[in-house]
Structure 1
Amino acid sequence: MSSKSSIKGRGAQINVPNKFFEMSHEMRDDFLEYCAKEGEEADKNKTRYLPIFPKTIVNKVKSPDVGMAYSMNMYQGCEHGCIYCYARNTHEFWGFSAGLDFERRILVKKDAPKLLEAFITRKNWHAYPIVMSGNTDCYQPAEKEFKITRQCLEVFLKYRHPVAIITKNALILRDLDILKELATHNLINVNISITSLSENTRRVLEPRTATIKKRLETVKTLSDNGIPVNVMLAPIIPSINSHEILPMAKAVSEAGALSIGHTIVRLNGAIGEIFTDWIQKTMPNRAEKVLHQIESCHGGSLNNSTYGSRMRGEGQIAKQINDLIHLAKLKYFKNKNMPKLNLELHEQYKDGQLKLF
């Protein structure tokens, strides 16, 4: 496996054209050659944080197979740089590329806590779990500076409202105090993404995420503090991490996880081109094999958008992956279950304080 790529510390190595724009920007070879001769940087590779001001923050999820009904995202774009990330395509709606722009142009919603409070205190709202990071990671590096996720957790705690979190960053442990208090009322569950036990694989797949060691430690710390943890072994990519299913399941179970989930990679929209470019640069010897095996899981295409089959795939390789997940659950999670979140407390706290009568 080669980690040599033209842009260090990033997943995507290109900015693909935005499908909503007629014109596109391209870095020409003659310009790159000129910069090299002059000793200039053709690309400074800096992350920029751009404030935006949406009118709402909680989204109703219409997709029937993603396991959530409501989600919210404090940030659009994600500096973690996971090459396979399905959320990349959403950056095109904001006028950016799904490639490098997704990792380097991070849109920040500083008003998220106020918008959340306004949403869950509506008279006609009845408590239902809201998932933080339905699209992009709420504990990505931007959170160190802006602390928006922590402020939102404080809102959930104030109103005793159920919340779920999806992340692959150990930064979540910064908020252990709030998470523990939410857990005492059965108002929180956490989903930690772990895609490999190999640090070399992690570095090329997810360049700016927490190390595997830190993620396993995060699962253990959360579990030891009474916070229910599900681990997402996702996505499973044939011939990259598919051989690690049973070892990963064993490791996260021993760390205290109560369950696992998985998806099979699908390269929808612009991600097909981004991933293909990336794997040809980082794993040239196995690029064609991996791409063909992904296609075999989706009827000959890199993507399948059909509800019900898009997450689990089809064909022999997909069946082998799904069978291994089933075996892992039987072997390592037989007597474990994630508890259901408490939906009953919120009504009593809707005005910010407990009602006596």
Structure 2
Amino acid sequence: MGIAIKGRGTSSHLPGRFESTVSETVDDGWTSDDSEEFAAPRLRTEVRAETARSIITRNNSPDVGFSQSVNPYRGCEHGCSYCFARPSHAYLNLSPGLDFETKLFAKTNAAQLLRKELSRPGYVPQPIALGINTDAYQPIERKLKLTRQLIEVLLEARHPFSLITKNAMVERDLDLLVPLAQQDLVSVHFSVTTLDPHLSAKLEPRAAAPHARLRAMKRLRDAGVPVGVMVAPVIPWINDSELEAVMEAARDAGANSAGYVLLRLPLEVAPLFRDWLDTHHPDRAAHVMSTINQLRGGKDYDSRFGTRMRGQGVYADLLSNRFKLARRRFGFDAQNSHWPKLDCSRFVRPAPPREDTPQGSLF
């Protein structure tokens, strides 16, 4: 069982799957007292600037409602214990555990790259999903404003996009989102895992509190920005009982679309989440994992298209039926359960970055 670290979603420096050597901390008895001399160093967030080579990621997955996405950051300070993106830090020779939420990378040239890709003569506009792998409005965005810079480019180009976030900071950019919404160019989904602030503080320690997300949802909706809710992830015996309550609260806050995603435990996320269960819910940890295994064909995770977001079996069918009934009960549009349709016809190819212009070197 791990020891919870305040403000962090995991207590583990679990090594990534590509590491050739692994270090392990062993208590030799000399650090048994509680003096500051032997105290573990306080974990601080480190942000490293990264010069990215490309910014638009493309996929052909039938499980998601978009084919293009943009992520201005790698790693996420929200520290969600269940985050499916944690394994990506292994490619950087960093831990998908604590490193993922404390050692972050900011793509400082993100807006410039986006402008470059949108300005290409052969580019065909399709809605972009902003901040899918890691939250585009995580705490470091307050200072760095990379997401805001991206939205400024999208507004100039009249390019449609959707975003999903756990942070109320999205309200800051209402001055950009409102004119986009007036042209059917944007939709905002809020990921709401639970209405219980105590559970939220354990699951996603540095994300906005549930009530703050709902308040931001209402403010966006009142300003004319279409909003939706994503109940994600649904975790058996942890927050699954709240599905209907979250959908009702989101409806009351102005959401007109809804979706849900079952807990996903790819690669290193599985042992990290097991450790989280042992730390915070040891009494039900075995029951939770037993149900997850039933949903995933006897494994911790099944990555196959068609089942990875919903699972399979009796519990999965029950959850699906509950969602459909709740969607009908609370008046959500059945055709608008994921990403609303956005207008691609307004696209205006932006001017390329200055250095890409032949005359640029003359000035």
- Tell me whether the two structures share a fold, i.e. TM-score over 0.5: yes
Q: How many residues end up aligned between the 2 structures?
A: 349
Task: Name which of 201, 204, 208 aligns with 1:203.
Answer: 201
Describe the superposition over 1:124-148 as per-residue Cα deviations: whole angstroms up to 9, x where unpaired.
0011111111200000011011000
> Which residue identity does 2:37 align to in structure 1?
G
Over 3 Å counting, the alpha-carbon distance change for 1:46 and 1:334 in structure 2 is: closer
Give the corresponding residue for 1:184: 182
Shift of 1:29: 2.3
The answer for the alignment partner of 1:344 in structure 2 is 345
Q: Which runs of 5+ in 2 are unaligned?
A: 353-363
Q: Structure 2 counterpart of 1:177, which letter?
A: D
In 2, distance between residues paired with 1:32 and 1:340?
Answer: 62
Conservation of the 8 A alpha-carbon contact between 2:277 and 2:285: yes
Residue 257 of structure 2 aligns with an amino acid whose one-letter code is: S
Instruction: Give, as a single letter, the amino acid of the residue that structure 2 aligns with 1:241.
Output: N
After TM superposition, the structure 1 = structure 2 runs for residues 34-183 of structure 1, keeping only pairs within 5 Å, are: 36-37=34-35, 39-183=37-181
Secondary structure at 1:29 match in 2:
coil
Change over 3 Å in CA distance of 1:341–1:234 after alignment to 2: same
User: For residues 29-62 of structure 1, what are the alpha-carbon distances to aligned partners after superposition, in whole Å with 9 as ceiling and x for unaligned?
Assistant: 2388268456333232111001111111111123
Structure 1 SS opposite 2:132: coil
Instruction: Tell me the residue number matched to 1:298.
Output: 296
| Cα offset, 1:66, TM superposition | 2.2
Measured after TM superposition, the shift of residue 187 of structure 1 is: 0.8
Q: Which moved more, 1:316-325 or 1:205-214?
A: 316-325
Distance verdict in 2 for CA 1:31–1:320, change over 3 Å? farther
Deviation at 1:315, TM superposition (A): 1.3
SS at match of 1:33: coil
Which residue is equivalent to 1:254? 252
Q: Which residues of structure 1 form unaligned runs of 5+?
A: 353-357
Match for residue 213 of structure 1 among 205, 211, 214: 211
CA distance in 1: counterparts of 2:117 and 2:221, whole angstroms = 30
Structure 1 residue aligned with 2:324: 326
Does the 8 A contact of 2:82 with 2:269 survive in 1? yes
Tell me if structure 2 keeps the 8 A contact 1:35–1:42: no
Offset, 1:242: 0.6
Aligned AA (2:102): R
**Aligned-residue identity in percent:** 39
Report how far residue 88 of structure 1 moved: 0.3
1:71-128 deviation per Cα after TM superposition (whole angstroms, max 9, x unaligned): 1111100000111110001111112111010000001111000001001111000111
In the TM superposition, residue 335 of structure 1 has moved relative to its aligned partner by 4.9
2:22 to 21, 24, 31: 24
- Structure-2 separation of matches of 1:175 and 1:32: 52
CA–CA separation in structure 1 for the residues paired with 2:350 and 2:138: 30
In structure 1, the partner of 2:276 is 278
Any conservation in 2 of the 1:266–1:294 contact (CA below 8 Å)? no
